[in-house]
């Protein structure tokens, strides 16, 4: 049987959807923005906070500031989440002088002290490109910590299934012997997600120095929020979560303290509504070179695998 992707809710043409879609973007400090939201009003918070690494948008390069901010953020985030809502916090590593601190370890410690917040997955987001390290292995993953508020929560697995590697597998014993063993709708995508990061030639690249990809947020939204549910990103940067929420027909509230980033977010939404290609689809396979492209050809002085094996 042919693989059929999981059914997505049928969306009307974009022009019509605009009228019903509701997106609110603010130039504001995240703490003030969160303080203004109503108690238990949000279905999903998905965000990537500043890592305090001294980037252009960081207030400092100190891990102590990261910790202090997260101690303040945790109760604000939990207050606005609905019971059964989800909190997806995307972080990488704080690197200073070659010493690495996995930020999710800090986030986990602080967030799990909150009553009613339970970790459901530590999702590894892996990608192929980045800085080539010379004194340690090159970093090619970050994480998303997915917490739920309460024990009863939304999880729509069917909306995010992916094709099986071996769809033709059959039960080899028992009463179902000989029958196909996989789910015809596809398999669980697991907690390791390979999604290209947004580098210079990526269709989503803007002037923001550190975007996460739309597809990463799309998967989270499809699985964790019902259509028309409310998604919030208090550190929205270039508005990636706003684009993903709009594509997925969910409501969106977000803010960033930097006016020029909010401008970028608005322009991305305008492009999306104008029908311009604005994102890399979640379903698009990762590009594998055929070997015939100039950049995939090995110069004669490069080592082969056999010269590397010893």
Neighbours of 42 (CB within 10 A): 25
The residues in 11-50 that bind ligand SAM, with binding defined as CB under 6 A, are 29-30, 48, 50
Cβ 232 to ligand SAM shortest distance, Å: 12
Phi and psi based region of residue 239 (left: phi greater than 0; alpha: psi -120 to 50; beta: remaining): left
- Residue closer to ligand SAM by CB (options 57, 153) is 57
Cβ 141 to ligand SAM shortest distance, Å: 16
Does residue number 237 form part of the binding site for ligand SAM (CB under 6 A)? yes
Window contacting ligand SAM (CB under 6 A); options: 1-9, 16-24, 143-151, 230-238 = 230-238
Calculate the alpha carbon distances from 187 to 5, 116, 167, 183, 284 in Å: 10, 30, 9, 6, 17
Window contacting ligand SAM (CB under 6 A); options: 75-83, 148-156, 161-169, 254-262 = 254-262
Window contacting ligand SAM (CB under 6 A); options: 102-110, 168-176, 232-240, 270-278 = 232-240
Residue nearest ligand SAM, Cβ-based: 237
Cβ 298 to ligand SAM shortest distance, Å: 35
Q: From the list 257, 269, 272, 282, which residue makes contact with ligand SAM (rule: CB under 6 A)?
A: 257
Angle, alpha carbons 216-63-240 (nearest 5°) = 20
Integer Cα distance of 288 and 299 in angstroms = 19
Does residue number 235 form part of the binding site for ligand SAM (CB under 6 A)? yes
With contact defined as beta carbons under 8 Å apart, do 135 and 84 qualify?
A: no
Does residue number 258 form part of the binding site for ligand SAM (CB under 6 A)? yes
How many amino acids of this chain bind ligand SAM (CB under 6 A)? 19
Does residue number 261 form part of the binding site for ligand SAM (CB under 6 A)? yes
- Residue closer to ligand SAM by CB (options 43, 142) is 142
Does residue number 57 form part of the binding site for ligand SAM (CB under 6 A)? yes
- Look up residue 96 and give its DSSP letter: E
Q: From the list 145, 255, 269, 272, which residue makes contact with ligand SAM (rule: CB under 6 A)?
A: 255
Token representation of residue 76: 């604000």
Neighbours of 195 (CB within 10 A): 19
Q: Exposure pattern of 130-156 as b/e (b: 16+ CB <10 Å)?
A: eeeeeeeeeeeebbbbbbbbeeebbee
Q: From the list 148, 238, 246, 278, which residue makes contact with ligand SAM (rule: CB under 6 A)?
A: 238
Does residue number 199 form part of the binding site for ligand SAM (CB under 6 A)? no
Radius of gyration of the chain (CA): 21
Residue recorded with tokens 């998303």: 144
With contact defined as beta carbons under 8 Å apart, do 235 and 49 qualify?
A: yes
**What is the binding site for ligand SAM (CB under 6 A)?**
29-30, 48, 50, 57, 208, 210-212, 235-238, 240, 255-258, 261
């Amino acid at each position: 049987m042919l693989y059929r992707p999981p059914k997505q809710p049928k969306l009307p043409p974009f022009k019509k959807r605009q009228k019903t879609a509701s997106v609110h973007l603010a130039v504001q400090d995240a703490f003030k923005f969160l303080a203004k939201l109503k108690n238990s009003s949000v279905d999903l918070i998905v965000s990537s906070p500043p890592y305090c690494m001294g980037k252009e948008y960081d207030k400092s390069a100190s891990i102590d500031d990261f910790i202090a901010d997260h101690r303040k953020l945790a109760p604000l985030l939990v207050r606005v989440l609905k019971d059964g809502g989800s909190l997806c916090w995307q972080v990488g590593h704080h690197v200073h002088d070659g010493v690495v601190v996995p930020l999710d370890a800090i986030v986990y410690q602080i967030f799990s002290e909150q009553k009613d917040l339970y970790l459901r997955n530590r999702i590894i987001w892996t990608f192929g490109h980045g800085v080539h390290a010379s004194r340690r292995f090159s970093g090619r993953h970050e994480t998303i910590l997915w917490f739920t508020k309460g024990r009863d929560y939304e999880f729509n697995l069917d909306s995010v299934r992916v094709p099986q590697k071996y769809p033709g597998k059959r039960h080899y014993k028992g009463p179902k012997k000989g029958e196909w063993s996989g789910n015809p709708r596809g398999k669980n995508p697991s907690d390791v997600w390979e999604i290209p990061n947004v580098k210079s030639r990526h269709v989503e690249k803007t002037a923001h120095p550190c975007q996460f990809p739309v597809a990463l947020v799309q998967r989270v939204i499809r699985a964790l929020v019902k259509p028309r549910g409310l998604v919030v990103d208090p550190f929205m940067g270039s508005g990636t979560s706003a684009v993903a929420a709009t594509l997925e027909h969910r409501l969106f509230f977000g803010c960033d303290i930097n006016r020029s980033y909010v401008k970028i977010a608005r322009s991305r939404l305008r492009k999306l509504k104008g029908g311009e290609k604005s994102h890399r689809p979640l379903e698009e396979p990762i590009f594998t070179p055929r070997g015939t492209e100039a950049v995939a050809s090995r110069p004669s002085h490069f080592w082969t695998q056999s010269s590397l094996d010893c």
